[in-house]
Amino acid sequence: MKSLAVVAIGGNSLIKDKTKTSIADQYMAICETARHIADLIQEGYNVVVSHGNGPQVGFMLRRSEIAAELSGIHSVPLVNCDADTQGSIGYQIQQAMDNEFRKRSLIEEVSNEFYKGDMLKTAITLVTQVEVDGKDPAFQNPSKPIGSFMSKEEMEKQKKMYPKSFYMEDAGRGYRRVVPSPRPKMVLEQEAIEILLKTGFCVIAGGGGGIPVIRTPENQWVGIDAVIDKDFATSLLGSQLKADVLIISTGVKKVFVNYNKPNQKCIDKMTVSEAKKYIEEGQFAPGSMLPKVQAAIEFIENGGQQAIITDPAHLRNAAKGEAGTHIVPDSKNKVIPLDEIPD
């Protein structure tokens, strides 16, 4: 079996700046990221791609509200916005990946109980549900930023229009709307993802952290309004799939401590204990780098070999141990490239 890398793409990384927020702009950013993921696949890895949806789900929810205000058209529940963005962003990633595979004439050799023979490498998007606890305290304490950044004046104006909504300052970049973000418990479509991987597909799954669902007393699944943090959901997915490496793609090449201070420094490698110490010191901003580091820790503690945080351009080198910040178990003294990890 090839080594399995689960790669998370941040929703914010698909929006380069405030002047490039259109669907076309987003697709251009996705195409750039797809090239780097294809590099990783060409190195011989199986890849599952997940993505964030923080800005996009906020845009969709806001469009729904405006449409309801102006025309009386029914608004769209947040959980349905999760599903919509999972499909729309997944479609763009799938198309970009397929186009990249065709450019490279990337052929996959498959031989298992599902398929035998050569096939052109193909991406597929799977609508993914993720179980959460309906009693999760996050429902009483909304904290997940969605939508665009706002000035304090813009935030106050929107707050008057929607008094039941919540807003918070986001890592010094402005104010954003926040919604409940319960912790994921289980990715429902795990078996389907595994079958698709065995059949040679590059799978796009768990988009936007997955569609949050709860289990009823009658053992039925029901969607619930929330947005699951994509880093925690991807970490859980990686653990369920027993992935060799979790790669969280973000806007910086490496993780920094003392960020934006005169004594800031980048981290090449840190053990789980060191990462926890940095968290206790408040080194990582909530809603920004903190959940990424926490998700990496969870992946390692659930049996993962290593987790990497880096930007899209350094995915290939990061997997070789030559770039990014590597989070490893306390027992490891060095970063081990995936092709050197014993079976």
Q: Which CATH class is domain 1-54+78-129+185-243?
A: alpha beta
Q: What are 168's two structure tokens?
A: 């918070």
Apex 93 CA angle, 174 and 252, nearest 5:
45
Q: State the pLDDT confidence band at 300, using cuts at 50, 70 and 90.
A: very high
Q: Check 230, 238, 287, 324 and give the catalytic one.
A: 230
Q: State the pLDDT confidence band at 334, using cuts at 50, 70 and 90.
A: very low
Q: What does the DSSP 8-state code read for residue 197?
A: H
Q: Check 121, 292, 304, 321 and give the catalytic one.
A: 292
pTM of the predicted structure, to 2 decimals: 0.88
The pLDDT, as a whole number, for residue 50 is 97
Mean pLDDT (the chain, rounded): 90
Please state the domain extents for the chain.
1-54+78-129+185-243, 252-343
304 a catalytic residue: no
Length of the chain in terms of residues written: 343
Q: State the pLDDT confidence band at 90, using cuts at 50, 70 and 90.
A: very high
CA-CA-CA-CA torsion for 237, 243, 245, 249, nearest 10 degrees? -30
Question: Which of 324 and 259 is assigned the larger pLDDT?
Answer: 324
11 a catalytic residue: yes
Q: Check 10, 11, 58, 321 and give the catalytic one.
A: 11
- Judged against a pLDDT cut of 50, whether residue 335 lies above it is answered with no
* Beta strands 123-125; 202-204: pairing state: parallel
- Judged against a pLDDT cut of 60, whether residue 341 lies above it is answered with no
CA-closest candidate to residue 325, choices 287, 286, 284:
284
How far is residue 194's CA from residue 140's CA, in Å, rounded to a whole number?
Answer: 35
List strands edge to edge, sheet with 175-179: 144-150, 175-179, 166-169
292 a catalytic residue: yes
Element (H, E) at 17: none
CB-based contact 50:11 (threshold 8 Å): no
- Judged against a pLDDT cut of 70, whether residue 201 lies above it is answered with yes
- Judged against a pLDDT cut of 90, whether residue 81 lies above it is answered with yes
230 a catalytic residue: yes
pLDDT tens track for 44-53: 999 999 999 8
The rounded radius of gyration (Å) of the Cα atoms in the chain is: 20
The pLDDT, as a whole number, for residue 149 is 82
Q: Check 52, 54, 121, 144 and give the catalytic one.
A: 144
- Judged against a pLDDT cut of 70, whether residue 343 lies above it is answered with no
pLDDT tens track for 228-286: 999 999 999 999 999 999 999 998 899 999 988 999 999 999 999 999 999 999 999 88
The pLDDT, as a whole number, for residue 323 is 95
The pLDDT, as a whole number, for residue 340 is 52
